[in-house]
Each structure stands twice: as C-alpha cells, then as structure tokens.
Amino acid sequence: MTKFHTPMGEDLGRDVLRIEDLRLTASQGARDLVKGVSLSVAPGRVLGLVGESGSGKTLTGLSCLGMLPQGIERTGGEVFVAGQPILDLAPNEQRRLRGSVVSMVLQDPLSGFHPMLTVGKQIFHALQDHGVGKESARARVLEVLGQARLPEPEKVSNRFPHQLSGGMRQRAMIALALANRPSLLIADEPTTALDPTVQAGVLRLLRQLADDGLGIVFVTHNLGVVAGLCDEVSVMEHGLIVESGDVAPVLENPQHPYSIELLSASPRLSSPHVLRAPLNAAQTNEPAAISVQGASQRYGTRGIFGRGAVVHALSDVSFEIPRGSTTSIVGESGSGKSTLTRLLVGLEKPTAGRVTVAGQDMTRLNPASERGFRRKVQLVFQDASRSLDPRNTAEELLLEALGVADRKASPSAVLELCDRVHLPRTILGLRTTHLSGGQRQRVAIARALAPNPEILVADEPVSALDVTNQQRIMGLFQELVGENNLTLIMVSHDLALVRDMTDTVITMYKGRLMEATPAEEFYRKPRNPYSQALLDAMPDPTRIGELPTATVPALPGRVG
C-alpha cells in the first residue's frame, strides 16, 4: 500500500476530506470490505477513486457522508470531513454536515429524487432543512440550477424528475447537492448511466465546480473519465488502495500489477492499433447476410380520442452487411439501435421497408419459417441476469439450447460448447445467479452459439460488466468470428470498445442512419459530424487533463 495521506499538522486544516486507515467489516460473516484506506482531498481538487465492483470504493464514498449501510461496521480509522470526524458524530450532527459541508451525487438520479415533488421544491426543502429563509431559499434554487448549467432554471425548477432527460436529471441532482454550498462532493459513478455526449457535459460541469474550489471524490471504474477529469487517482482492489498519486504519473506509468491490468483493459481510441482492412464486398458474389432497405418503425400510442402520438423509432434506414464481417451499430439512447436490433432478429416487424436477414424476408416471417430462421440468427442479450432463467443451472440452459437444434443433444456437446466460450466446466452445475457477471454472459453467448448460427447479433453484450471482463468478452467475440465464418453485429454505445474488432461502423442518431463506413476510414475521419461528436465524447485514459467535448451538431431529427 502506498502511503498517501498528508502528515498531521500543516495540511490538517486545509483538506476538505481526510480518511485515515479506514477499516470496514460486514458484520455478517465478518468479511473485511475496506482494509485500511487512507486518502485526502484538498479544496478544488478532484480525486478519482477507481476500482471494479466489490473493491470497496462505494463504501469508502458512503463513509465520507457518515452513512454506513446496515450490517457494515467500522473496525478502525477515522474520516475527517472539513476537520470533523463524521463517523463519530451524533446522528443530528451528521445530518447538519450532510448537504452543507459534504454532499453526494449518485449514479441513478431518479432514485435520489422524490418522484412526487418538483425539482425546485426538493432543492427548496433541502435549503430549508438547513435553516435558509423562504425568500432567500427561493432565489437560491434558481441560482443553483443555473450553476449546474441547466438552461431555463425557472422551467426546470417546476418540472418533476421524470420529466427531465437523463443528463438534465443528473445536473439537477448536482444542483440539489450544491444547494447548501458544500465544500466536498462525493460523486458515485454519476455518469455511468449517461450517453457519451451527455457524460462529457456533466464531466465539464464537475471540472468547473472543482475549479471554483469544490473538492470532489469521483468514484468510477472508468479510467478514461479519470484521465480527463481528475487531478489525483487512487486505485482500489479488494478494499485496499494499491496505487495512488497524481493522474499523469499513475496513468502513464502504472506500477501496481492491478493498475496495469485495469489500464490495459480500458478501451481507447488513440492507441496505434492496426485496424481491420475493409472487406471487399464487391469481390464476393454471395448475397449479403443482412440487407435493410428503407426500414422504418413507428410506434403509435392510442389516445382516448382517436389517434395519439406517433413515435418514429426508425426512419428510412438502409444498409447491407456482407457475410462473415463484423459490423458495429453505434448510437446513444433514442438512436433507434435497439429497435433495429429487434427488427434484425424478428422480434418486431418493420412498419415500412424491407429487412432481409439470412435470406429471410422479415415481413414474411411466420411460425413455420421462424423455426429455420432461429437456427441461423441468434441474439446475445445486454443483461444475462435478466435473459437467463435464474432457476436453471448453466448445464440445463446449455442443454436446452442444444436441444432446439438436436433433440438428442448429449452432455459431451455441452462440454464442447463450454470450452468454446472458455467457461470453466466446474461451474456447469451452478445456477446462473451464482455465477459472476462475466461467466453469466459467457453462458448467454454459449446458448446463442448452440444452434450454430450464421449471424450473431450482440446487443450491448458487455455494458453490465467491469472493464477487465468487458475486454475478455470482446476478445471472445473476436475469437468466435475468426473461428467460423460468423457474421457479427455488435450493438454498442461505446466506439472505443468495438474499435479493434469491427469492419464497418454504422452510426445512428434519432432513428436515422448517419453513416456506414469501413472502420479504418471511420476512426481516421468519420464522414458525419455526429459521428465525429461521438468520437470526441469518448473518454480515453491516454488523454490526460483533456475533457471530452460535448458539442452535438444540429442535425435533422426525426420526421413527424
């Protein structure tokens, strides 16, 4: 463990946060979760607390607010917030500090807001709780919403949390956190659930707040974000800080093996990697694996009086994907990429246009033709914990998948399948709820591979995983494509993640296709300004001190 905290004395009054040898234990089973963490944050500095799930980073963050969850006990150490040992204070003393001295922003702002009160009301209440008068509280609400760079603070103040977009909601959460002028902000993965371009905006806001003197602890697993935003970084593994220091030396020259592993697993756009050469589709006379011509998808909501609103989830999308290639469909939420995925695998039929997948006209898919189609086209779902039956063991799930194509599937075929996705055979008897996230996703991939499909569609297959697992699963996909002439469609919001394995990149925005470009060309210079914005917004661990930009060019949106 690297000694990090400043010596007692000169810096005592200066640091807004100082944690000294904090030890936390789960009282049930006496598991040590945090094993002696020390760190400090000075005003105006941003500390990145990096680690994977289970590293204890969230617990460390919570202890800064004096909010240890039930069943967690402190076995040693101190947490000083603005010089006060917050964990030793009485509950009402802690409450007084919370908000006015230390504040928190969470990953999901919706769970932090009361759903039945307007944003303005909640900030107002937070101010009143700390004894601010009615008139000045009212003024402060608008002031702080403006400070969070929310356009038209008055309007936002009268909105309910669910009426705001994800990015605006997170800004409103930051405004709520800032209401009582804290000097320390604990931000627990505040941008993980946001789209890249929205994330970039929130990161810039946090940087500006820090430059105005706020101390920030930024809990994250994304080293790219740390590189852009933070001044210092502490890497946590199994409840210990394994490496810490200024961002530049740690990220440029990590010393601890875990930091090195974490860094090498982080996707990046700037690495000098050989990109795959564009496939020459003209040479092969084969018909395309997937052909989409003018596909549109509208969702109508039936109003009480006649027709209600119509949502154009997809408008006039056309592209072709040659056999044996890997294509990435990239876009942010609302881009229509999920709708497109559902069309490609036949879960929905387009309202207009033609979609042909593996020779099957999708508008003519009927129960009889569906049987054959299912063997040729498979889908890997985003979240395996939701798409796999929690009551079945891995073996049962794989056997079932094999059984669809071949009723007499043998246990040896299960083992073979298991090896193909590098799943340890020992876990076959376990239920999926007892598997790790990465293992669970491997079971899902194995299931999709069971009927030996020609086309595999993967819908954000790694977005629920830690960075190191993300990389391993992406590696597996690469391997599978190489093995047999598999056509792979990778749906993602992360351009860095798919960079090294894709032949073609398709970008989508508001239901429209922005461009479909060979990867080599795309990553060098995309044709479309939105694609460029998306590339610019990707955090990258090698761009230290460089915050991603967030300017989304004005583009024609959806029609209707």
Interaction site with another protein (CB under 8 A): 26, 33, 53-54, 58-59, 62, 67, 69, 72, 95, 98-99, 103-104, 106, 112, 114, 125-126, 129, 176-177, 179-180, 182, 345, 347, 367, 370-371, 374-375, 378-379, 381, 383, 386-391, 400-401, 404-405, 431, 433-436, 444, 447-448, 450-451
Nearer CB in complex with another protein: 390/545: 390
Smallest CA-to-CA distance from 295 within 325, 324, 320 is with: 320
Q: What is the DSSP string of 172-189?
A: HHHHHHHTT--SEEEEES
Cβ of residue 308: shortest distance to another protein, in angstroms?
20
Cβ of residue 530: shortest distance to another protein, in angstroms?
29
Smallest CA-to-CA distance from 68 within 99, 91, 38, 96 is with: 91
Cβ of residue 126: shortest distance to another protein, in angstroms?
5
Cβ of residue 106: shortest distance to another protein, in angstroms?
8
Cβ of residue 305: shortest distance to another protein, in angstroms?
22
Nearer CB in complex with another protein: 357/496: 357
Nearer CB in complex with another protein: 112/331: 112
Strand residues in 142-207 grouped as ranges (E): 184-188
Residue 351's Cβ-count burial label (10 Å; 0-12, 13-18, 19+) is middle
Cβ of residue 59: shortest distance to another protein, in angstroms?
8
User: E strand or H helix at 355, and its extent?
Assistant: strand 352-357
Cβ of residue 62: shortest distance to another protein, in angstroms?
7
Nearer CB in complex with another protein: 200/428: 428
Locate 95 and state its tokens. 């409450």
Asked if residue 489 lies in contact with residue 329, where contact means CB atoms within 8 angstroms, the answer is: yes
Alpha-carbon distance 549 to 560, whole Å?
30
Nearer CB in complex with another protein: 199/341: 341
Locate 84 and state its tokens. 């006060």
Pairing between strand 84-85 and 455-459? unpaired
Q: Is 197 helix (H, G, I), strand (E, B) or coil?
A: helix
Nearer CB in complex with another protein: 2/387: 387
Nearer CB in complex with another protein: 401/467: 401
Cβ of residue 209: shortest distance to another protein, in angstroms?
14
Residues of the chain by 3-state class (helix, strand, coil), percent to 5: 40, 25, 40
N- to C-terminal Cα distance for the chain?
59
Between the CA atoms of 411, 413, 419 and 424, what dihedral angle is there, to the nearest 10 degrees?
-10
Alpha-carbon distance 418 to 428, whole Å?
8
Cβ of residue 336: shortest distance to another protein, in angstroms?
18
Alpha-carbon distance 389 to 10, whole Å?
58
Smallest CA-to-CA distance from 552 within 268, 148, 167, 105 is with: 167
Nearer CB in complex with another protein: 370/416: 370
Nearer CB in complex with another protein: 106/329: 106
Looking at residue 286, what DSSP letter applies? S
Cβ-proximal residues to 39 (8 Å cutoff; 6+ apart), any chain = 4, 5, 17, 18, 19, 47, 49, 234, 241, 244
Residue 280's Cβ-count burial label (10 Å; 0-12, 13-18, 19+) is exposed
Cβ of residue 127: shortest distance to another protein, in angstroms?
10
Nearer CB in complex with another protein: 88/252: 88
Cβ of residue 475: shortest distance to another protein, in angstroms?
22
Cβ of residue 213: shortest distance to another protein, in angstroms?
18
Alpha-carbon distance 128 to 124, whole Å?
6
Cβ of residue 173: shortest distance to another protein, in angstroms?
8
Q: How many CA atoms lie within 13 A of 533 on its CB side?
A: 22
Nearer CB in complex with another protein: 58/266: 58
Nearer CB in complex with another protein: 41/435: 435
Nearer CB in complex with another protein: 381/509: 381
Smallest CA-to-CA distance from 229 within 548, 496, 534, 551 is with: 548
Nearer CB in complex with another protein: 59/241: 59
Cβ of residue 247: shortest distance to another protein, in angstroms?
26
Alpha-carbon distance 146 to 169, whole Å?
13
Q: How would you label 93-121 residue by residue, b for 16+ Cβ within 10 Å and e otherwise?
A: ebebbbbbbbbbbbbbbeebbeeeebbbe
